[in-house]
Structure 1
Amino acid sequence: MSPDSNPFLRGYQNLRIDRSLCITYEDDCPPVWHPLHPSQAHLPDDQIALFPCVFNNDFALITEGQDIPEDLEAQCQTEGVVRTVVYAVSGDDFGQPVHVGDTYSEEAAREVVWRLSFETGFYSRCWEISSAHLTPEAGRFLAGLADIATPSGFLFVAFRIPYSPAIGVKLIATPWTDANLQLVEGITAEELRQEHRAKGMPESLVEVLHLAALANVRMLIFDADAPVLDGLPLYEDE
Protein backbone atom coordinates (compact mmCIF):
# COMPACT_ATOMS: atom_id res chain seq x y z
CA MET A 1 0.00 0.00 0.00
CA SER A 2 1.33 3.42 -0.93
CA PRO A 3 2.13 5.80 1.95
CA ASP A 4 -0.10 8.32 0.17
CA SER A 5 -3.10 6.02 0.82
CA ASN A 6 -2.16 5.13 4.40
CA PRO A 7 -5.49 5.16 6.30
CA PHE A 8 -3.70 5.97 9.57
CA LEU A 9 -2.60 9.35 8.25
CA ARG A 10 -4.73 12.21 9.52
CA GLY A 11 -4.67 15.86 8.60
CA TYR A 12 -2.47 17.52 6.01
CA GLN A 13 1.10 16.38 5.39
CA ASN A 14 4.16 18.47 4.47
CA LEU A 15 2.59 21.77 5.47
CA ARG A 16 4.42 24.79 4.09
CA ILE A 17 4.13 28.57 3.98
CA ASP A 18 4.62 30.73 0.89
CA ARG A 19 4.60 34.53 0.87
CA SER A 20 2.66 35.84 -2.11
CA LEU A 21 1.98 39.35 -3.40
CA CYS A 22 -1.38 40.55 -4.71
CA ILE A 23 -0.49 42.93 -7.56
CA THR A 24 -2.74 45.21 -9.57
CA TYR A 25 -1.79 46.69 -12.93
CA GLU A 26 -3.65 48.48 -15.69
CA ASP A 27 -7.22 49.45 -14.94
CA ASP A 28 -8.97 46.67 -16.85
CA CYS A 29 -6.78 43.74 -15.69
CA PRO A 30 -7.62 41.47 -12.75
CA PRO A 31 -5.10 41.21 -9.88
CA VAL A 32 -2.29 38.69 -10.17
CA TRP A 33 -0.43 36.76 -7.48
CA HIS A 34 3.33 36.28 -7.58
CA PRO A 35 6.13 35.46 -5.13
CA LEU A 36 8.85 37.96 -4.39
CA HIS A 37 12.17 37.30 -6.09
CA PRO A 38 14.62 35.47 -3.73
CA SER A 39 17.01 38.43 -3.87
CA GLN A 40 14.39 40.50 -2.01
CA ALA A 41 13.19 37.80 0.38
CA HIS A 42 14.70 39.77 3.28
CA LEU A 43 12.28 42.68 2.81
CA PRO A 44 9.67 43.01 5.59
CA ASP A 45 6.01 43.24 4.66
CA ASP A 46 5.84 46.98 5.36
CA GLN A 47 8.43 47.55 2.62
CA ILE A 48 6.39 45.52 0.14
CA ALA A 49 2.69 46.29 0.58
CA LEU A 50 1.51 49.37 -1.38
CA PHE A 51 4.91 49.71 -3.07
CA PRO A 52 5.40 49.84 -6.84
CA CYS A 53 6.88 46.77 -8.48
CA VAL A 54 7.73 45.11 -11.75
CA PHE A 55 6.91 41.48 -12.45
CA ASN A 56 6.82 38.64 -14.93
CA ASN A 57 5.10 35.26 -14.88
CA ASP A 58 7.45 33.89 -12.24
CA PHE A 59 8.25 36.60 -9.69
CA ALA A 60 7.96 40.25 -8.68
CA LEU A 61 10.53 42.88 -7.72
CA ILE A 62 9.94 45.90 -5.49
CA THR A 63 11.36 48.93 -7.28
CA GLU A 64 11.02 51.83 -4.85
CA GLY A 65 14.08 52.19 -2.64
CA GLN A 66 15.71 49.02 -3.98
CA ASP A 67 18.83 48.52 -6.07
CA ILE A 68 17.97 45.97 -8.75
CA PRO A 69 20.56 44.61 -11.19
CA GLU A 70 19.74 45.71 -14.71
CA ASP A 71 19.74 42.18 -16.12
CA LEU A 72 17.23 41.08 -13.45
CA GLU A 73 14.96 44.08 -13.92
CA ALA A 74 15.04 43.51 -17.68
CA GLN A 75 13.27 40.17 -17.12
CA CYS A 76 10.19 42.01 -15.81
CA GLN A 77 8.23 43.90 -18.44
CA THR A 78 5.09 44.78 -16.48
CA GLU A 79 4.68 47.49 -13.84
CA GLY A 80 2.21 47.28 -10.98
CA VAL A 81 1.50 48.00 -7.33
CA VAL A 82 1.51 45.47 -4.50
CA ARG A 83 -1.88 45.77 -2.83
CA THR A 84 -1.34 43.26 -0.04
CA VAL A 85 0.99 40.53 1.19
CA VAL A 86 -0.49 37.11 1.90
CA TYR A 87 1.04 34.06 3.56
CA ALA A 88 -0.48 31.02 1.88
CA VAL A 89 -0.57 27.72 3.79
CA SER A 90 -0.41 24.64 1.58
CA GLY A 91 0.01 20.94 2.19
CA ASP A 92 -0.49 17.45 0.80
CA ASP A 93 -3.71 15.49 1.24
CA PHE A 94 -3.11 11.80 0.47
CA GLY A 95 -0.37 12.77 -1.97
CA GLN A 96 -2.26 15.60 -3.66
CA PRO A 97 -1.21 19.24 -3.15
CA VAL A 98 -3.95 21.39 -1.60
CA HIS A 99 -4.32 25.04 -0.67
CA VAL A 100 -5.31 25.16 3.01
CA GLY A 101 -5.83 28.90 3.43
CA ASP A 102 -4.38 32.41 3.48
CA THR A 103 -3.25 34.57 6.37
CA TYR A 104 -1.99 38.13 6.46
CA SER A 105 1.11 37.62 8.61
CA GLU A 106 3.84 35.02 8.91
CA GLU A 107 3.04 34.61 12.60
CA ALA A 108 -0.58 33.75 11.84
CA ALA A 109 0.50 31.29 9.14
CA ARG A 110 2.88 29.55 11.54
CA GLU A 111 0.06 29.29 14.09
CA VAL A 112 -2.14 27.58 11.49
CA VAL A 113 0.64 25.14 10.61
CA TRP A 114 1.28 24.38 14.28
CA ARG A 115 -2.39 23.68 14.95
CA LEU A 116 -2.67 21.37 11.95
CA SER A 117 0.60 19.52 12.45
CA PHE A 118 -0.24 17.44 15.56
CA GLU A 119 3.34 17.94 16.76
CA THR A 120 2.56 18.00 20.48
CA GLY A 121 4.09 14.54 20.86
CA PHE A 122 1.07 12.89 22.41
CA TYR A 123 -2.08 14.05 20.65
CA SER A 124 -3.98 11.72 18.30
CA ARG A 125 -1.48 8.86 18.51
CA CYS A 126 -3.73 6.14 19.96
CA TRP A 127 -6.03 4.12 17.70
CA GLU A 128 -8.63 1.42 18.32
CA ILE A 129 -9.55 -0.60 15.23
CA SER A 130 -11.37 -3.83 14.49
CA SER A 131 -9.45 -7.06 14.95
CA ALA A 132 -11.02 -8.09 11.63
CA HIS A 133 -8.09 -6.26 10.03
CA LEU A 134 -5.94 -9.22 11.10
CA THR A 135 -6.20 -12.76 9.82
CA PRO A 136 -7.03 -15.35 12.51
CA GLU A 137 -3.42 -16.54 12.25
CA ALA A 138 -2.15 -13.00 12.84
CA GLY A 139 -4.51 -12.56 15.78
CA ARG A 140 -3.18 -15.72 17.42
CA PHE A 141 0.41 -14.63 16.74
CA LEU A 142 -0.21 -11.25 18.38
CA ALA A 143 -1.99 -12.83 21.36
CA GLY A 144 0.98 -15.13 21.83
CA LEU A 145 3.32 -12.14 21.95
CA ALA A 146 1.06 -10.48 24.51
CA ASP A 147 1.49 -13.47 26.82
CA ILE A 148 5.29 -13.34 26.78
CA ALA A 149 7.94 -10.66 26.96
CA THR A 150 7.88 -9.40 23.38
CA PRO A 151 11.44 -9.55 21.95
CA SER A 152 13.01 -6.09 21.78
CA GLY A 153 13.95 -6.51 18.13
CA PHE A 154 10.29 -6.29 17.13
CA LEU A 155 10.22 -2.57 18.04
CA PHE A 156 6.80 -2.99 19.62
CA VAL A 157 5.32 -4.47 22.78
CA ALA A 158 2.05 -6.43 22.72
CA PHE A 159 -0.18 -6.51 25.79
CA ARG A 160 -3.63 -7.66 26.84
CA ILE A 161 -6.40 -5.31 27.95
CA PRO A 162 -7.74 -6.47 31.36
CA TYR A 163 -11.28 -7.89 31.29
CA SER A 164 -11.36 -7.66 27.51
CA PRO A 165 -10.40 -9.85 24.54
CA ALA A 166 -8.72 -6.81 22.96
CA ILE A 167 -4.97 -6.82 22.33
CA GLY A 168 -2.88 -3.65 22.48
CA VAL A 169 0.41 -2.78 20.81
CA LYS A 170 2.83 -0.06 21.85
CA LEU A 171 4.95 0.87 18.85
CA ILE A 172 8.53 1.92 19.52
CA ALA A 173 10.87 4.27 17.63
CA THR A 174 8.14 5.69 15.42
CA PRO A 175 7.80 6.86 12.76
CA TRP A 176 9.17 3.82 10.96
CA THR A 177 10.75 5.82 8.18
CA ASP A 178 14.19 5.07 6.80
CA ALA A 179 15.58 8.30 8.27
CA ASN A 180 14.27 7.73 11.79
CA LEU A 181 15.06 4.01 11.94
CA GLN A 182 18.59 4.63 10.66
CA LEU A 183 19.05 7.18 13.42
CA VAL A 184 17.58 5.04 16.21
CA GLU A 185 18.33 1.45 15.19
CA GLY A 186 20.72 1.66 12.24
CA ILE A 187 18.29 -0.13 9.90
CA THR A 188 15.86 0.80 7.14
CA ALA A 189 12.10 0.35 7.18
CA GLU A 190 12.38 -2.47 4.66
CA GLU A 191 15.01 -4.23 6.78
CA LEU A 192 12.68 -4.05 9.78
CA ARG A 193 9.84 -5.41 7.67
CA GLN A 194 12.02 -8.33 6.53
CA GLU A 195 13.09 -8.98 10.11
CA HIS A 196 9.46 -9.21 11.18
CA ARG A 197 8.73 -11.67 8.38
CA ALA A 198 11.80 -13.73 9.26
CA LYS A 199 10.44 -14.12 12.79
CA GLY A 200 7.24 -15.63 11.45
CA MET A 201 4.97 -12.61 11.72
CA PRO A 202 1.90 -13.03 9.46
CA GLU A 203 1.74 -10.57 6.57
CA SER A 204 -1.52 -8.90 7.66
CA LEU A 205 0.06 -7.97 10.99
CA VAL A 206 3.25 -6.77 9.31
CA GLU A 207 1.24 -4.54 6.99
CA VAL A 208 -1.00 -2.91 9.58
CA LEU A 209 1.80 -2.31 12.10
CA HIS A 210 4.08 -0.73 9.52
CA LEU A 211 1.32 1.52 8.19
CA ALA A 212 0.46 2.66 11.72
CA ALA A 213 4.10 3.21 12.67
CA LEU A 214 4.75 5.13 9.45
CA ALA A 215 1.95 7.52 10.47
CA ASN A 216 3.62 7.91 13.91
CA VAL A 217 0.92 6.00 15.80
CA ARG A 218 2.21 4.93 19.22
CA MET A 219 -0.67 2.89 20.66
CA LEU A 220 -2.81 0.53 18.57
CA ILE A 221 -5.68 -1.52 20.01
CA PHE A 222 -7.26 -4.43 18.13
CA ASP A 223 -10.80 -5.19 19.33
CA ALA A 224 -13.55 -7.20 17.66
CA ASP A 225 -16.10 -4.58 18.76
CA ALA A 226 -14.12 -1.61 17.43
CA PRO A 227 -15.05 -0.02 14.09
CA VAL A 228 -13.26 -0.97 10.91
CA LEU A 229 -10.81 1.51 9.41
CA ASP A 230 -11.63 2.37 5.82
CA GLY A 231 -8.70 1.57 3.57
CA LEU A 232 -7.46 -1.48 5.49
CA PRO A 233 -8.20 -5.04 4.30
CA LEU A 234 -10.73 -7.13 6.23
CA TYR A 235 -10.38 -10.84 6.95
CA GLU A 236 -13.03 -13.38 7.86
CA ASP A 237 -12.75 -15.80 10.76
CA GLU A 238 -11.77 -19.32 9.92
Structure 2
Amino acid sequence: MKSTTQAPAMLGASGPFVRGYDNLSIERLLLITYANDYPPCLRSVHDSQTHLPDNELQLFACLFNDDFALISEGQSISDDLDERCQSTGLVRQVIYAVMGEMLNERHHLGDLYSLEEAQAAVHRLRFETGHYSRAWEISTAHLTDKALRHLESRVGNVDSRPTGLLFEPFALTDCNGIGCKLIGTPWTDGNLMKIEGSPYSSLRQEQLDAGTPEALVNVLYLAALADVRLLIFDPDATALDGLAIYDEIATRST
Protein backbone atom coordinates (compact mmCIF):
# COMPACT_ATOMS: atom_id res chain seq x y z
CA MET A 1 0.00 0.00 0.00
CA LYS A 2 1.35 3.43 -0.93
CA SER A 3 1.77 6.09 1.71
CA THR A 4 -0.56 9.06 1.39
CA THR A 5 1.09 11.32 3.96
CA GLN A 6 1.24 14.99 3.07
CA ALA A 7 4.16 17.39 3.01
CA PRO A 8 4.62 19.31 6.29
CA ALA A 9 2.85 22.65 6.42
CA MET A 10 5.09 25.70 6.32
CA LEU A 11 5.47 27.63 9.56
CA GLY A 12 3.68 30.93 9.02
CA ALA A 13 4.87 32.74 5.90
CA SER A 14 8.29 31.07 5.87
CA GLY A 15 10.15 27.93 6.91
CA PRO A 16 12.96 27.22 9.38
CA PHE A 17 15.63 27.22 6.64
CA VAL A 18 14.51 30.42 4.91
CA ARG A 19 16.93 33.31 5.47
CA GLY A 20 17.09 35.47 2.33
CA TYR A 21 14.96 36.92 -0.47
CA ASP A 22 14.93 35.88 -4.10
CA ASN A 23 14.30 37.82 -7.33
CA LEU A 24 15.18 41.21 -5.87
CA SER A 25 13.93 44.09 -7.98
CA ILE A 26 13.37 47.85 -7.88
CA GLU A 27 10.08 49.61 -8.61
CA ARG A 28 9.78 53.35 -9.14
CA LEU A 29 6.66 54.57 -7.33
CA LEU A 30 4.97 57.92 -6.83
CA LEU A 31 3.88 59.04 -3.36
CA ILE A 32 0.63 60.91 -4.01
CA THR A 33 -1.47 63.13 -1.76
CA TYR A 34 -4.96 63.81 -2.95
CA ALA A 35 -7.65 64.66 -0.42
CA ASN A 36 -7.84 66.04 3.09
CA ASP A 37 -7.90 63.41 5.85
CA TYR A 38 -6.79 60.63 3.46
CA PRO A 39 -3.35 59.04 3.80
CA PRO A 40 -0.95 59.28 0.85
CA CYS A 41 -0.99 56.45 -1.67
CA LEU A 42 1.69 54.82 -3.82
CA ARG A 43 1.24 54.23 -7.54
CA SER A 44 3.52 53.15 -10.36
CA VAL A 45 4.01 55.40 -13.39
CA HIS A 46 1.96 54.39 -16.43
CA ASP A 47 4.01 52.76 -19.20
CA SER A 48 3.48 55.75 -21.47
CA GLN A 49 5.36 58.00 -19.02
CA THR A 50 8.13 55.77 -17.68
CA HIS A 51 10.61 57.77 -19.77
CA LEU A 52 10.05 60.88 -17.63
CA PRO A 53 12.93 61.66 -15.23
CA ASP A 54 12.28 62.11 -11.53
CA ASN A 55 12.36 65.90 -11.75
CA GLU A 56 9.45 65.81 -14.19
CA LEU A 57 7.38 63.68 -11.82
CA GLN A 58 7.97 65.07 -8.36
CA LEU A 59 5.70 67.96 -7.27
CA PHE A 60 3.59 67.69 -10.44
CA ALA A 61 -0.19 67.25 -10.58
CA CYS A 62 -1.37 63.79 -11.59
CA LEU A 63 -4.33 61.59 -12.42
CA PHE A 64 -4.48 58.09 -10.94
CA ASN A 65 -6.56 54.99 -10.33
CA ASP A 66 -5.98 51.79 -8.39
CA ASP A 67 -3.32 50.58 -10.82
CA PHE A 68 -1.21 53.53 -12.07
CA ALA A 69 -0.66 57.28 -12.17
CA LEU A 70 -0.22 59.78 -15.00
CA ILE A 71 1.37 63.20 -14.77
CA SER A 72 -1.26 65.63 -16.02
CA GLU A 73 0.73 68.85 -15.78
CA GLY A 74 2.55 69.58 -19.02
CA GLN A 75 1.88 66.12 -20.46
CA SER A 76 -0.48 64.91 -23.20
CA ILE A 77 -2.88 62.19 -22.02
CA SER A 78 -5.18 60.25 -24.33
CA ASP A 79 -8.93 60.39 -23.77
CA ASP A 80 -8.97 56.67 -23.04
CA LEU A 81 -6.42 56.95 -20.21
CA ASP A 82 -8.07 60.11 -18.89
CA GLU A 83 -11.38 58.26 -18.55
CA ARG A 84 -9.70 55.41 -16.64
CA CYS A 85 -8.34 57.75 -13.94
CA GLN A 86 -11.02 58.99 -11.59
CA SER A 87 -8.77 60.65 -9.00
CA THR A 88 -6.47 63.66 -9.01
CA GLY A 89 -3.56 64.43 -6.75
CA LEU A 90 -0.03 65.79 -6.36
CA VAL A 91 3.16 63.74 -6.54
CA ARG A 92 5.01 64.56 -3.34
CA GLN A 93 7.95 62.17 -3.70
CA VAL A 94 9.47 59.71 -6.17
CA ILE A 95 10.27 56.50 -4.29
CA TYR A 96 12.36 53.51 -5.32
CA ALA A 97 10.86 50.47 -3.63
CA VAL A 98 13.04 47.40 -3.15
CA MET A 99 11.00 44.22 -3.63
CA GLY A 100 11.85 40.57 -3.07
CA GLU A 101 10.30 37.12 -3.05
CA MET A 102 10.26 34.52 -0.30
CA LEU A 103 8.63 31.15 -0.97
CA ASN A 104 6.94 32.61 -4.06
CA GLU A 105 5.37 35.45 -2.05
CA ARG A 106 6.15 39.07 -2.98
CA HIS A 107 7.45 41.32 -0.20
CA HIS A 108 8.06 45.09 0.00
CA LEU A 109 11.45 45.35 1.72
CA GLY A 110 11.91 49.09 1.92
CA ASP A 111 12.00 52.46 0.17
CA LEU A 112 14.89 54.62 -1.00
CA TYR A 113 14.87 58.01 -2.65
CA SER A 114 17.18 57.55 -5.62
CA LEU A 115 17.84 54.79 -8.11
CA GLU A 116 21.51 54.67 -7.12
CA GLU A 117 20.67 54.08 -3.45
CA ALA A 118 18.18 51.35 -4.36
CA GLN A 119 20.70 49.62 -6.65
CA ALA A 120 23.32 49.68 -3.90
CA ALA A 121 20.86 48.12 -1.44
CA VAL A 122 19.96 45.36 -3.89
CA HIS A 123 23.65 44.69 -4.54
CA ARG A 124 24.27 44.19 -0.82
CA LEU A 125 21.20 41.99 -0.34
CA ARG A 126 22.06 39.74 -3.26
CA PHE A 127 25.41 38.64 -1.79
CA GLU A 128 27.05 38.86 -5.23
CA THR A 129 29.99 36.67 -4.18
CA GLY A 130 27.76 33.63 -3.70
CA HIS A 131 24.45 32.26 -2.53
CA TYR A 132 23.42 32.88 1.06
CA SER A 133 22.65 30.02 3.48
CA ARG A 134 22.90 27.15 1.00
CA ALA A 135 24.87 24.94 3.44
CA TRP A 136 23.45 24.08 6.86
CA GLU A 137 24.57 21.99 9.84
CA ILE A 138 21.75 20.94 12.15
CA SER A 139 21.26 18.49 15.00
CA THR A 140 20.50 14.83 14.39
CA ALA A 141 17.65 15.38 16.88
CA HIS A 142 15.65 16.46 13.83
CA LEU A 143 15.72 12.86 12.55
CA THR A 144 14.25 9.71 14.00
CA ASP A 145 16.63 6.85 14.66
CA LYS A 146 15.10 5.07 11.65
CA ALA A 147 15.79 8.06 9.40
CA LEU A 148 19.41 8.39 10.51
CA ARG A 149 20.07 4.68 10.09
CA HIS A 150 18.60 4.90 6.59
CA LEU A 151 21.17 7.55 5.68
CA GLU A 152 23.99 5.56 7.28
CA SER A 153 23.02 2.46 5.31
CA ARG A 154 23.13 4.45 2.07
CA VAL A 155 26.64 5.86 2.57
CA GLY A 156 27.92 2.64 4.18
CA ASN A 157 26.95 0.49 1.22
CA VAL A 158 29.78 0.51 -1.35
CA ASP A 159 27.40 -0.93 -3.95
CA SER A 160 24.81 1.76 -3.34
CA ARG A 161 23.81 3.55 -6.52
CA PRO A 162 22.57 7.13 -6.79
CA THR A 163 19.11 7.39 -5.31
CA GLY A 164 17.58 9.21 -8.29
CA LEU A 165 15.38 10.95 -5.72
CA LEU A 166 17.02 14.41 -5.96
CA PHE A 167 19.14 13.87 -2.85
CA GLU A 168 22.40 11.97 -2.33
CA PRO A 169 23.80 11.14 1.15
CA PHE A 170 27.52 11.39 1.83
CA ALA A 171 29.74 10.48 4.79
CA LEU A 172 31.85 12.89 6.84
CA THR A 173 34.69 10.62 7.89
CA ASP A 174 36.34 13.04 10.33
CA CYS A 175 33.29 13.57 12.52
CA ASN A 176 30.03 11.92 13.53
CA GLY A 177 28.03 13.79 10.93
CA ILE A 178 26.34 12.68 7.75
CA GLY A 179 25.33 14.94 4.90
CA CYS A 180 22.89 15.17 2.01
CA LYS A 181 23.44 16.87 -1.31
CA LEU A 182 20.08 18.25 -2.49
CA ILE A 183 19.52 18.38 -6.23
CA GLY A 184 17.16 20.48 -8.34
CA THR A 185 16.33 22.95 -5.59
CA PRO A 186 14.11 24.71 -4.79
CA TRP A 187 11.55 21.91 -4.60
CA THR A 188 8.64 24.10 -5.57
CA ASP A 189 6.00 22.81 -7.95
CA GLY A 190 7.03 25.36 -10.58
CA ASN A 191 10.73 24.47 -10.52
CA LEU A 192 10.16 20.72 -10.39
CA MET A 193 7.75 20.91 -13.30
CA LYS A 194 10.57 22.48 -15.33
CA ILE A 195 13.25 19.94 -14.48
CA GLU A 196 11.24 16.79 -13.71
CA GLY A 197 7.93 17.38 -15.46
CA SER A 198 5.95 16.73 -12.27
CA PRO A 199 5.07 18.61 -9.05
CA TYR A 200 6.59 18.09 -5.60
CA SER A 201 3.84 15.67 -4.56
CA SER A 202 5.14 13.19 -7.15
CA LEU A 203 8.73 13.48 -5.90
CA ARG A 204 7.58 13.06 -2.32
CA GLN A 205 5.66 9.91 -3.19
CA GLU A 206 8.66 8.49 -5.06
CA GLN A 207 10.87 9.11 -2.04
CA LEU A 208 8.41 7.43 0.33
CA ASP A 209 7.82 4.49 -2.02
CA ALA A 210 11.60 3.97 -2.20
CA GLY A 211 11.69 3.48 1.58
CA THR A 212 12.89 6.92 2.63
CA PRO A 213 11.62 7.51 6.19
CA GLU A 214 9.01 10.24 6.43
CA ALA A 215 10.98 12.26 9.00
CA LEU A 216 13.86 12.52 6.51
CA VAL A 217 11.55 13.33 3.61
CA ASN A 218 9.99 16.16 5.63
CA VAL A 219 13.23 17.85 6.67
CA LEU A 220 14.73 17.52 3.18
CA TYR A 221 11.62 19.15 1.73
CA LEU A 222 11.81 22.15 4.06
CA ALA A 223 15.50 22.59 3.32
CA ALA A 224 15.10 22.20 -0.44
CA LEU A 225 12.17 24.60 -0.48
CA ALA A 226 14.57 27.25 0.85
CA ASP A 227 17.13 26.34 -1.88
CA VAL A 228 19.56 24.67 0.55
CA ARG A 229 22.07 22.53 -1.35
CA LEU A 230 24.12 20.91 1.42
CA LEU A 231 22.46 19.68 4.63
CA ILE A 232 24.61 18.12 7.37
CA PHE A 233 23.20 16.26 10.37
CA ASP A 234 25.54 16.21 13.38
CA PRO A 235 24.80 15.11 16.96
CA ASP A 236 26.94 17.99 18.24
CA ALA A 237 25.18 20.68 16.19
CA THR A 238 22.46 22.88 17.65
CA ALA A 239 18.78 22.34 16.95
CA LEU A 240 17.08 24.62 14.45
CA ASP A 241 14.14 26.64 15.79
CA GLY A 242 10.89 25.77 14.07
CA LEU A 243 11.99 22.30 12.95
CA ALA A 244 10.51 19.13 14.46
CA ILE A 245 12.53 17.45 17.24
CA TYR A 246 11.91 13.80 17.99
CA ASP A 247 11.74 12.26 21.45
CA GLU A 248 14.07 9.49 20.41
CA ILE A 249 17.21 11.52 19.76
CA ALA A 250 18.87 10.14 16.68
CA THR A 251 22.51 9.18 17.23
CA ARG A 252 25.00 7.31 15.13
CA SER A 253 25.29 3.62 15.84
CA THR A 254 28.54 2.51 17.44
TM-score (norm 2): 0.78
Matches within 5 A, 1:58-97: 59-74=68-83, 76=85, 79-91=88-100
The equivalent residue for 1:127 is 136
Matches within 5 A, 1:75-154: 76=85, 79-91=88-100, 99-117=108-126, 121-148=130-157, 149-154=160-165
Q: 1:215 aligns with which of 226, 240, 250?
A: 226
In the aligned structure 1, how far is the partner of 2:71 from the partner of 2:128? 36
Following superposition, the deviation at residue 9 of structure 1 comes to 0.9
How has the CA–CA distance of structure 1 residues 156 and 76 changed in structure 2, closer, same or farther, with 3 Å as cutoff? closer
How has the CA–CA distance of structure 1 residues 184 and 118 changed in structure 2, closer, same or farther, with 3 Å as cutoff? farther
Is the CA contact (8 Å cut-off) linking 1:150 and 1:157 kept in structure 2? no
Q: Aligned-pair RMSD on alpha carbons?
A: 3.1
Structure 1 alignment gaps of length 5 or more: none
Q: Which amino acid aligns with 2:136?
A: W
In the aligned structure 1, how far is the partner of 2:94 from the partner of 2:216? 49
Structure 2 alignment gaps of length 5 or more: 1-7, 250-254
Q: Which amino acid aligns with 1:205?
A: L
Is the CA contact (8 Å cut-off) linking 1:168 and 1:219 kept in structure 2? yes
Following superposition, the deviation at residue 236 of structure 1 comes to 2.3
Q: 1:158 aligns with which of 157, 165, 169?
A: 169
Following superposition, the deviation at residue 95 of structure 1 comes to 8.3
1:23 matches 2:32: yes
Following superposition, the deviation at residue 17 of structure 1 comes to 3.4
In the aligned structure 1, how far is the partner of 2:193 from the partner of 2:37? 57
Following superposition, the deviation at residue 105 of structure 1 comes to 2.8
What is the CA deviation profile of residues 68-101 of structure 1, one whole-angstrom value per residue up to 9, with x for unaligned ones? 1234335556554423210122446678865421
Is the CA contact (8 Å cut-off) linking 1:175 and 1:215 kept in structure 2? yes
1:196 matches 2:207: yes
How has the CA–CA distance of structure 1 residues 47 and 166 changed in structure 2, closer, same or farther, with 3 Å as cutoff? same
Same amino acid, percent of matched pairs: 53
